[in-house]
Structure 1
Amino acid sequence: MDIEFVRSRFIKHFDGKEGNIYASPGRINLIGEHTDYNGGFVFPGAVDKGIMCEIRPNGTNTIMAYAIDLKDRVEFKVDDPQGPRASWARYIYGIVQEMRKLGVDVKGFNTAFAGDVPLGAGMSSSAALESCYAFALNDLFGDNKVSKWDMVLAGQATEHNYCGVNCGIMDQFASVFGKAGCLMRLDCRSREFEYFPFNPVGYKLVLLDSVVKHELAGSPYNDRRNSCENVVKHIAAKHPEGKFETLRDCTWEQLEEVKAEVGDEDYRRAKFVLGEKDRVLAVCDALNAGDYETVGKKMYETHYGLSKEYEVSCEELDYLNDIAKENGVTGSRIMGGGFGGCTINLVKEDLYDKFIADAKAKYTAKFGHAPKVYDVVISDGARKIC
């Protein structure tokens, strides 16, 4: 993100005076899909693409915000009970309200922001926007008294209360707590987390965006969540002495006990979740040992599970995964909820150019358009630039 570009737009659209500049990143998730609502682990990292804003108090009770990329300007009062209609401005409005609930005495300000998080690639541009403004408001009006976890939860509450998205905490967590050269294992049940070194010398991390998003009939995410909850219910009935809230609490042996009762579909979905729990922990050990071959192997296992057991893949994503295997890519899998979006790929540098060229050529020949390519660098979380 270009600091001078954001500053020039801010100066042009307001009174010519400079403010403070803040930035917050988007995120990737190396492994750990569909585990958050099952009480499991996720393994995200902040990336070198995100949101950057310039902001300066204006001495009034009015917030004047300019979205550089959209060329759109919105004004609203700090204490406006309804807030703006523009969807992008709802994120800023929501963060203002949630930070005020935390005791931050937010006053009026002028702000302009821009982003370079690819839209539709599952890298969480909205969380980056929320985290950027939460950090900025805490710095400008809160004397930095609000904790990082409070900023994470303020971002989540903004999605829930003002934007109509009932999201988890992984995206905001990664955007706030990100650390260059490290991925983070987050326990979605306890909120405990740990940094793990990610310095894959000789490898690159790259996203291939299928540029498709399939809308399936019904509620595919709810269906899968219901499958998991059904398995937990049956296991709990067989073990009344235990405490079974999510699949996180269940063992492989207990899953086998209820296989006949829950049916093949629910069994396969629960099998994926238990396997993914084990894979995340295996990747932690591999990263500590600098063993990126094992990391890659687990990524392929996750893709297989998401495709064949959890059934959230699609033809385009499976094809990109097959191309990765054909090119000797160390690891490849679906990143995100599925039904479209990206694969995340861990590839040796000496294979990178051939892999990308082959993927573009074969994918275009089959589907009529090339995948988008996004190289990933693991970076720091929300911060003040100047």
Structure 2
Amino acid sequence: MGEQDPYIMTITEQLAQLKEAFAAKYGSAPTHAAVAPGRVNLIGEHTDYNDGFVMPMAINRSVVIALRPRTDRHVNIISLDFDQPITFALDGLTKEKASPTEYVKGVAWALQEDGYELSGFEGVMKGDVPIGSGLSSSAALEMAAVRAFLACIDADWQPAKFALLGQKVENKWMGVNSGIMDQMISAAGVADHA
């Protein structure tokens, strides 16, 4: 086996960094971690939203959120990648200008639209899926956020259902005409399989 690429952190390394940052910010350890990978598409680029065939594959770059549930309905996430924290209340969600906050808010909106009674959480987030590179950083953020919210309420993971929910976030909340491929592979991808 070759040497590890020094520009890619393993999930274990990311979690260690997030746990340290979480303890520094919130004074104790996180209780959960939510992880979702980016993807490459081997065949069929831009055909999923036209009912065509695709062949995506999860990659070893991901978005990771270390978190702890709150007793109220506020979400506070410190991102190690962005200067602006992600903070909002789960009640009365309204869309603002496009930002990483909007993807997480959009997930909360879609989950609540689907009948989930969410609780807030505090977290620290890091991702190594390059933004704007065609590796689905937004889908990875959406699926990590879904997993984070579900962890707080002890709800079951249903990959196809939550991939569709992520697509709804893109289409209805973010106003992006996207298919299901990105969210589906981030939600249901299996290591070493296309």
TM exceeding 0.5: yes
How far apart are 1:63 and its partner, in Å? 1.0
Partner in structure 2 of residue 130 of structure 1: 142
Stretches of structure 1 lacking an aligned partner (at least 5 in a row): 184-386
Partner residue in 2 for 1:160: 171
The separation in 1 between residues aligned to 2:99 and 2:126, in whole angstroms, is: 15
| Residue of structure 2 equivalent to 1:77 | 89
- In 2, the alpha carbon distance for the partners of 1:132 and 1:61 equals 18
C-alpha distance in structure 2 between counterparts of 1:27 and 1:85, whole Å: 26
Q: CA deviation at 1:69?
A: 0.8
The verdict on how the C-alpha distance between 1:10 and 1:181 changes in structure 2, with shifts beyond 3 A counting, is: same
Separation in structure 1 between the aligned mates of residue 38 and residue 178 of structure 2, nearest angstrom: 15
Structure 2 SS opposite 1:150? helix
Give the aligned partner of residue 3 of structure 1. Answer: 15
Task: Give the C-alpha shift of residue 74 in structure 1.
Answer: 3.2
Contact 2:19 2:29 in 1 (8 A): no
2:173 partner amino acid:
Y
Which residue does 2:6 correspond to in 1? none
Which has more helix, going by share of residues?
Answer: 1
Residues 67 and 121, structure 2, Cα contact 8 Å, conserved in 1: yes
Q: How does 1:1-386 map to 2 (within 5 A)?
A: 1=9, 2-83=14-95, 85=97, 87-144=99-156, 147-183=158-194
Count of residue pairs brought into register by the alignment: 182
Instruction: Determine the structure 2 residue equivalent to 1:362.
Output: none
**For 1:95 and 1:71, how far apart are their aligned partners in 2?**
21
The ranges of structure 1 where at least 4 consecutive aligned residues each deviate by more than 6 angstroms after the TM superposition are none
Q: Normalized against structure 1, the TM-score is what?
A: 0.45
Q: Which residue does 1:259 correspond to in 2?
A: none
Change (3 A) 1:25 1:33: same
Structure 1 pair 104–37 and aligned structure 2 pair: CA distance change class (3 A):
closer
The answer to whether the 8 A contact 1:105-1:142 is kept is no
> Match for residue 4 of structure 2?
none
Q: Which is greater in Rg?
A: 1
Q: What are the superposed Cα offsets for residues 328-384 of structure 1, whole Å, 9 maximum, x if unpaired?
A: xxxxxxxxxxxxxxxxxxxxxxxxxxxxxxxxxxxxxxxxxxxxxxxxxxxxxxxxx
Q: Could you say what secondary structure the match of 2:68 adopts?
A: strand
Q: Distance in 2 between matches of 1:84 and 1:12?
A: 30
Q: Which amino acid aligns with 1:115?
A: G
CA distance in 1, matches of 2:151, 2:82: 26
Q: Is the 8 A contact 1:24 1:128 kept in 2?
A: yes
Cα offset, 1:83, TM superposition: 5.0
TM-superposition CA deviations, 1:9-36 (whole Å, max 9, x none):
2222224342211210000011112322
Q: Flag the structure with more relative contact order, 1 or 2, with Cα contacts below 8 A and sequence separation at least 6.
A: 2
TM-aligned CA distance change 1:75 to 1:34, over 3 Å: closer
Number of the residue aligned with 1:371: none
For the residues of structure 1 that align with 2:64 and 2:168, how far apart are their CA atoms? 21
- Normalization by structure 2: what TM-score? 0.86
Shift of 1:155: 0.8
- Which deviations, in whole Å up to 9, do the C-alpha atoms of 1:79-102 show, x marking residues without a partner? 133156561101111111111222
Q: Which digits, 9 at most, give the CA deviation of each residue in 1:217-259, with x for residues without a partner?
A: xxxxxxxxxxxxxxxxxxxxxxxxxxxxxxxxxxxxxxxxxxx
| Letter of the 1:62 counterpart | H
1:274-295, Cα deviation, whole Å (9 max, x unpaired): xxxxxxxxxxxxxxxxxxxxxx
Find the aligned partners of 2:46 and 2:95 in 1 and give their Cα distance. 33
- Which AA in structure 1 matches 2:152? L
Code of the residue aligned with 1:8 in structure 2: it is E
User: Is the deviation greater in 171-180 or in 128-137?
Assistant: 128-137
RMSD: 1.8
Q: Is the 8 A contact 2:37 2:140 kept in 1?
A: yes
